[in-house]
Amino acid sequence: MRMEGPLGVSDLLLAIESSCDETAVAIIRGGTQIVSSVVSSQVDLHRAYGGVVPELASRAHLELIVPLIREALSEAGCTAHGTLINGEPGIRAIGATYGPGLIGPLLVGVAAAKALALAWDLPFIGVNHLEGHLYASLLEDPEMEFPVVVLLVSGGHTLLISMQAPGEYSILGSTVDDAAGEAFDKVARYLGYGYPGGPAIEDAAHTVLMPEIRFTPPMLHEGLNFSFSGLKTAAVQYVKANPTVASAQVAAAFQRAVIEVLVTKTVVAAELTDARGICIAGGVAANGALREAMIAEGARQGRKVFVPSRAMCTDNAAMVAAAAFFRLSVEGPSPISLGAVPNLAFPTK
Ligand code: KG4
Ligand code: ZN
């Protein structure tokens, strides 16, 4: 029953996300309606090591992937063969993240997706994980008006993107060293908060009612690129020079400097490109203080700010499914020979 042409508004697409330490499977209908979305986080597995251990992650993905596919199918009212319980054809296409990410974890998701596509004779679509993050907002706000400026801040990337339409992107700025999420994780580890660092820094910062320290936001008025490595070093040096300082004070000052630079550059980018709106995406976009600051600054500029729910900011397969649906409609299926690409770049024309 291999289908030709784009999917219709009632067609189901199943997608898999396994690029890092979350195994996730989702089924969407018509490109924007989430029918089921399951995410299994490996946070507890990696916590003892202070970060993601790639080999452990690969093994965990292997153990989790089939039960999660079953769970997503069952939640969507599908049989284990991907058909609907009433006998009608159910799943019409299979997507999976093929990069960027960790090679072992990516291979597990790509292999599982290809196996389903071959077994059920369906098109397979490889999805760029970063493009997936952009679809988180579109899933929750399908009427989004373009152009928008997207701040994509995750564990591995910090990108300012002008999105003229789905699939049409240009990069306005990126980090010259660490990604924002990576800086959160490194500072958290130094302060003894462990992994994952972003939520731990946010929680600690939240307890600070009277901020006592201020770090200079890096490269604040120097174009649209970012740098976080020096800020991380400033936090470390501060603790070395002031060993009795409360860690929460350092966490709060670090978070504040990161947010100031992220928000300032995003609103400048929106002004420069005359964007209709601003959108935030990626794991760091789950940060409450960043969300509030971006909404406040966007409102001051008179621009709509699209803030996906926290669960949609961190890694999930619904965003991958939405990106797969779009890619299938404009490019058709990926070759079944497509492999995992750990350093896949953000897709610009
Ligand atoms: O998008 P994501 O889930 O995975 C990648 O594609 O990298 O992002 C993970 C990153 C981690 O660095 C994590 O510390 C950060 O997002 N993060 C946060 C928060 N939640 C996750 N950073 C700051 N505040 C948070 N609440
Ligand atoms: Zn991600």
What φ, ψ does residue 203 adopt, rounded to 5°? -60, -45
Helix (H, G, I), strand (E, B) or coil at 48: coil
Instruction: Give the number of C-alpha atoms closer than 13 A to the C-alpha of residue 15, restricted to the C-beta side.
Output: 34
The structure tokens 């760091």 sit at: 284
Residue 37 confidence (pLDDT): 98
Closest ligand to residue 285's CA: 1
Q: Which atom of ligand 1 is nearest to the CA of 182?
A: 12
Chain segment 311-336, per-residue pLDDT in tens: 999 999 999 999 999 999 999 999 99
Ligand 1: which residues within 6 Å by Cβ? 20, 154-156, 181, 184-185, 196-199, 202, 282-284, 286-287, 314-315
Set out the domains of the chain in order of their start, with CATH numbers: 12-135+313-331 (3.30.420.40), 146-308 (3.30.420.40)
Between the CA of residue 154 and those of 40, 170, 310, what are the distances in Å? 18, 18, 13
pLDDT at 2 over 70: no
Query: What percent of the chain clears pLDDT 70, i.e. is strictly above it?
Result: 98
131 alpha carbon – ligand 2 mean position (Å): 10
302 three-state secondary structure = coil
Looking from the CA of residue 19, the nearest atom of ligand 1 is 6
Sign (positive/negative) of CA torsion 183, 187, 190, 194? negative
pLDDT tens-place string over residues 168-210? 999 999 999 999 999 999 999 999 998 889 999 999 999 999 9
Span from the CA of 297 to the centroid of ligand 2 (angstroms)? 25
CB atoms within 10 A of CB 265: 25
Positive or negative CA dihedral for 101, 107, 112, 114?
Answer: positive
The reply to whether the predicted model has a pTM over 0.85 is yes
What are the structure tokens assigned to 275, written together? 């964007």
> From ligand 1's centre to the CA of 73, what distance in Å?
28
Q: How far is CA 43 from CA 283, 286, 288, 301, in A?
A: 14, 16, 20, 38
* Upper half-sphere CA count for residue 193 (Cβ side, 13 Å): 21
Q: What gap in Å lies between CA 277 and CA 228, rounded to an integer?
A: 26
pLDDT at 6 over 90: no
CA nearest ligand 1 atom 21, residue: 283
Per residue, the 3-state secondary structure of 110-139, as one string, reads: HHHHHHHHHHHCCCEEEEEHHHHHHHHHHH
Sign of CA dihedral 259, 186, 226, 136: negative
Shortest-distance atom of ligand 1 to CA 130: 6
Q: What CA–CA distance (Å, rounded) separates 55 from 42?
A: 12
Structure tokens at 173: 């700025």
pLDDT at position 10 is 86
Three-class SS state of 38: strand
Q: How far apart are CA 270 and CA 258, in angstroms?
A: 18
For 107-119, the pLDDT digits (tens) are 999 999 999 999 9
Which of the ligands is closest to the CA of residue 21? 1
Give the other-Cβ count within 10 Å of 146's Cβ: 13
How many other CB atoms are found less than 10 A from the CB of residue 118? Answer: 12
Q: Report CA(244)–ligand 1 centroid distance (Å).
A: 28
Q: Label residue 1 by pLDDT band (50, 70, 90).
A: very low
Kindly give the distance from the C-alpha atom of residue 100 to the centroid of ligand 2, in angstroms, as a whole number.
9
Distance from residue 285's CA to the centre of ligand 1 (Å):
8
Pocket test residue of 184, 190, 290, 320 for ligand 1, highest count of atoms within 8 A of CB: 184
Secondary structure of residue 348 in the 3-state scheme = coil
Q: Please identify, by atom number, the ligand 1 atom nearest to the C-alpha of residue 315.
A: 3
DSSP-based three-state secondary structure for 73: helix
| CA 117 to ligand 1 center in whole angstroms | 31
User: How far is residue 1's CA from residue 6's CA, in Å, rounded to a whole number?
Assistant: 14
CA dihedral 117, 311, 306, 181 (to 10 degrees): -100
Residue nearest to atom 14 of ligand 1 (CA): 198
Mean pLDDT within 265-279: 97
Q: Whose CA is nearest to atom 1 of ligand 1?
A: 283
Rg (CA), the chain: 20
Report in angstroms the alpha-carbon separations of 165 from 138, 147, 189, 273, 294: 11, 7, 39, 14, 22
Which residue has the CA at smallest separation from atom 23 of ligand 1? 198
Ligand nearest to the backbone CA of 179: 1
Q: pLDDT tens-digit profile of 146-157? A: 999 999 999 999
